[in-house]
């Protein structure tokens, strides 16, 4: 009888241990089941409402600086170069003495012309007195009419001789004055092309000697070209009274050099050409900029911004909030049910670090600006407005006040 009860006792003991194990593991199994049903919390994202701002579309073009005045210094008289009165590359003012040609031959010519003039004046005085005497003699029939006519002709020839010699004197004075070559405009002069002692060929012919060049620097012009479509857009705005690119200098433009990041130089439009280039389909425009420090140099490249539209109210968002889907651009917005929804948008220019949205966005859209990598279309999110304090996680200690 006792032998048969031992197996039964073992069975009861094993069953009791199994019950204990079940009782211990039951809460853990229940927790595992609860965690699978609850799932992860919605991802937290930061959103911002679009900024409304009055802006003007800006078109950018590349161009070059050109001098308003560019003059080649050439002599008007031929002679040997005597002096050079400037330093290569310096700034000169209008009227500054630049070159001097040997004056001695021209001074001699002037002296000779003045002497001939005095001789002609003396001859004129004699013929006038002789003619005055002849008038009384011809009335008294002392001389013939032919003799009187000869005296009259001699007086007229003497008058013509004086006039001719006066012209020769004036020309000799001009030639002597032309031996001093002065700057016709303000600007920066280049290097000298001829050294003193060389023969300089002057005059109005094409074989004159180039001595130097002067280009004006302040103000300076900036020339660029824009396409036919932009020209039509500007002209249509002008016809409606909303002048965008004016020929009268009323439109302000901005410029930056190749080593600058901002368009910090301001100027104004002063010219748009009257012909579109048939080979390129572009038309030439021109702006004027002040250049007191002579930083802008003729021939230098730069970029210019021209107003491309009248002012209008636009929506702007951070550029980082914009995503790409092949050629389309989109933003993720938080809907009324706190679900992420994509919206396709049309982009404009950058303005103070924000991107202009021309179409596809409403002023009250909550645009996700942070946490884009954690959301997908239709996913429930926990939105937090940009600049607001994010909500604390469940079970976390409350944030300490600052």
**How far apart, in whole angstroms, are the C-alpha atoms of residue 40 and residue 254?**
53
Residue 146: how many CA atoms within 13 Å on its side-chain side? 0
| Residues 354 and 279 grouped into a single domain | no
Residue 334: how many CA atoms within 13 Å on its side-chain side? 24
Instruction: Give the residue among 52, 46, 55 at the shortest CA–CA distance from 361.
Output: 52
**How far apart, in whole angstroms, are the C-alpha atoms of residue 196 and residue 84?**
7
CATH number, domain containing residue 286: 2.40.30.170
| Residues 301 and 319 grouped into a single domain | no
Please, what is the end-to-end C-alpha distance for the chain in angstroms? 81
Residue with tokens 């060929």: 201
**How far apart, in whole angstroms, are the C-alpha atoms of residue 313 and residue 221?**
33
Relative orientation angle of helices 104-139 and 145-178, to the nearest 10 degrees: 160
Indicate left, alpha or beta for 46 from its phi (over 0: left) and psi (-120 to 50: alpha): beta
* Domain presence at residue 133: yes
* Domain presence at residue 366: yes
Strands 70-74 and 328-334 turn out to be unpaired
Q: Which residues contact 213 (CB under 8 A, 6 or more apart)?
A: 70, 71, 72, 73, 189, 190
* Domain presence at residue 63: yes
Cβ contact 302:255 at 8 Å? yes
CATH number, domain containing residue 143: 1.10.287.470
Domain interval for residue 131: 103-178
* Domain presence at residue 156: yes
Both tokens assigned to 302: 């730069």
**How far apart, in whole angstroms, are the C-alpha atoms of residue 82 and residue 196?**
5
| Residues 283 and 363 grouped into a single domain | no
Residue with tokens 């429930």: 380
The angle subtended at Cα 326 by Cα 325 and Cα 328, nearest 5°, is: 60
* Domain presence at residue 165: yes
pLDDT digits (tens), the chain, 402 positions: 444 444 444 444 444 444 444 444 445 445 545 545 556 788 888 888 898 888 888 889 999 999 999 999 999 999 999 999 999 999 999 999 999 999 999 999 999 999 999 999 999 999 988 888 888 787 877 778 888 888 889 999 999 999 999 999 999 999 999 999 999 999 999 999 999 999 999 988 778 999 999 999 989 999 999 999 988 888 887 776 555 555 555 788 999 999 988 898 999 988 888 899 999 999 999 999 999 888 999 999 999 998 887 788 889 998 888 888 888 899 999 988 888 889 899 888 888 788 898 888 888 889 988 888 888 888 888 888 887 655 554 444 444 443
Cβ contact 131:155 at 8 Å? yes
Number of domains, the chain:
3
* Domain presence at residue 290: yes
């Amino acid at each position: 009888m006792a032998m048969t009860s031992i197996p039964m006792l073992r069975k009861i003991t094993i069953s009791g241990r199994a019950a204990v194990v079940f009782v211990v593991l039951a809460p853990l199994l229940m927790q595992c089941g609860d965690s699978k049903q609850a799932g992860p919390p919605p991802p937290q994202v930061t959103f911002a409402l679009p900024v409304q701002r009055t802006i003007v579309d800006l078109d950018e073009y590349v161009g070059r600086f050109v001098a308003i005045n560019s003059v080649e210094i050439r002599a008007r008289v031929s002679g040997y170069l005597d002096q050079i009165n400037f330093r290569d590359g310096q700034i000169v003012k209008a009227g500054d003495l630049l070159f001097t040609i040997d004056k001695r031959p021209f001074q001699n010519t002037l002296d000779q012309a003045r002497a001939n003039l005095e001789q002609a004046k003396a001859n004129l005085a004699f013929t006038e007195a002789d003619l005055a005497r002849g008038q009384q003699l011809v009335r008294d029939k002392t001389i013939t009419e032919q003799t009187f006519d000869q005296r009259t002709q001699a007086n007229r020839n003497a008058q013509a001789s004086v006039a001719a010699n006066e012209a020769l004197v004036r020309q000799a004075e001009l030639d002597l004055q032309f031996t001093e070559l002065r700057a016709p405009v303000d600007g920066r002069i280049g290097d000298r092309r001829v050294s003193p002692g060389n023969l300089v060929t002057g005059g109005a012919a094409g074989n004159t000697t180039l001595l130097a060049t002067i280009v004006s620097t302040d103000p300076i012009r900036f020339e660029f070209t824009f396409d036919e479509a932009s020209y039509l857009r500007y002209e249509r705005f002008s016809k409606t009274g909303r002048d965008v690119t004016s020929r009268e200098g009323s439109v302000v433009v901005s410029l930056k050099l190749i080593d600058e990041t901002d368009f910090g130089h301001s100027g104004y439009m002063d010219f748009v050409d009257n012909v579109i280039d048939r080979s390129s389909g572009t038309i030439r425009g021109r702006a004027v900029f002040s250049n007191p420090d002579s930083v802008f140099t003729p021939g230098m490249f730069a970029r210019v911004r021209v107003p491309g539209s009248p002012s209008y109210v636009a929506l702007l968002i951070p550029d980082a909030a914009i995503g790409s889907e092949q050629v389309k651009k989109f933003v993720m917005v938080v809907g009324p049910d706190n679900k992420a929804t994509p919206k396709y948008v049309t982009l404009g220019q950058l303005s103070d670090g924000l991107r202009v949205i021309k179409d596809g966005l409403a002023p009250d859209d909550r645009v996700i600006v942070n946490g884009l990598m954690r959301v997908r279309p239709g996913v429930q999110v926990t939105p937090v407005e940009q600049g607001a304090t994010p909500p604390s996680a469940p079970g976390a200690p409350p944030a300490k006040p600052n």
